[in-house]
Amino acid sequence: MALLENIRLFVRVYELGSMSAAARDQRVSPAVASSRIAALEEHLKVRLFQRTTRSLRPTEHGEAFYDGAREVVEAVEAAEGRVAAITGSPRGLLSVSAPLRLGRRLLAPIVPSFMDDYPGLTMRLRLTDRGVELTAEGLDVAIILGTPEDSNLKIRKICDCRRVLVAAPSYVAERGMPRDGEALVRDGHECLILRYPGATEFRWLLRTPEGPRRFGVTGRLDCDDGATLMDWALMGRGIILKPLWEVAEAMAEGTLVQVAHETPPEPIQLACLYAHRRLQDPKRRLFMDWVAPRLRDLVAKAEARAPQEPR
């Protein structure tokens, strides 16, 4: 078992490119991680990584060992999964990510029920509005809004989420009510933009009489945290594009109102993202089977709170 755990740790060090990051991923101290890699190197009689005070990179032997090591880890996980499927008691760690707001409002409240149903599982939930890399970050499933760019990953659709453009009444009173996407751009409306490192532009996809069209909106405020953008919108600092389920309550209360009614945003897909090979483990498939209908129901109930007509 010690050899297997050392191989598992090696795979994470290789994929993350960092001993400390792999140690956090495997929930051990950096010192323990380093000693376990040293033990594996002693077992193989080769050096697997070149280490300096500032960098770590695999040696030729490490490169050669990785593919086989990855296959060993996946084979063991698959075998454990088959046993769990027979016994009906899945076990092990399940790593899941989700966008911050969705994770806090919809996913996190139902996760404890999932854990009650399957007490042999341990859940590691990561909430972030930034894009994630499943393999590099050791994730089993990512709950996402949108369509992934990585064609090597598999996607399981949960539902389409309606989206709206909204602003505080105080913003509309000061800047006027834009009727459509053209007005957003022409009149220089302040648009609150979700932007993360590496993004070079932002365009909102709106539904026009001629079909879907992207509008290059601008604004003086942007952030990589959707909750902060929501706070700014409520303060009257600009227009925000949000899933309807997220702003329905504020719209019902009148603290946010719909704008650009003639060109509403295109819906966005809510889905589970996973690496194809990882579906072999039943606990990942089990989680997606369990969570999909519940999230679909929560989205529908939240959307129903919105006023039927723009206020």
- Dump pLDDT digits (tens) for 209-249: 889 999 989 899 998 888 899 999 999 999 999 999 999 99
User: How high is the pLDDT of residue 85?
Assistant: 58
Domains in the chain (CATH in brackets) are 2-85 (1.10.10.10), 94-158+269-303 (3.40.190.10), 163-266 (3.40.190.10)
pLDDT for 157: 93
pLDDT of res. 239: 97
Question: Residue ranges of the chain with pLDDT lower than 70?
Answer: 1, 80-89, 149-151, 196-201, 276-281, 309-311
pLDDT at residue 200, rounded to an integer: 45
The pLDDT assigned to 81 comes to: 65
Please answer whether residues 166 and 242 qualify as being in contact, where contact means their C-beta atoms are separated by less than 8 angstroms: yes
Q: What is the pLDDT of residue 175?
A: 94
Please give the Cα distance from 293 to 191 (Å, whole number): 33
Q: Residue 239: enclosing H or E segment and its boundaries?
A: strand 239-243
User: pTM higher than 0.75 for the full model?
Assistant: no
Report the pLDDT value the prediction gives residue 87, as an integer from 0 to 100. 58
CA dist 264 and 165 (Å) reads 7
Name 129's Cβ contacts closer than 8 Å, sequence gap at least 6: 99, 100, 101, 194, 196, 224, 225, 226
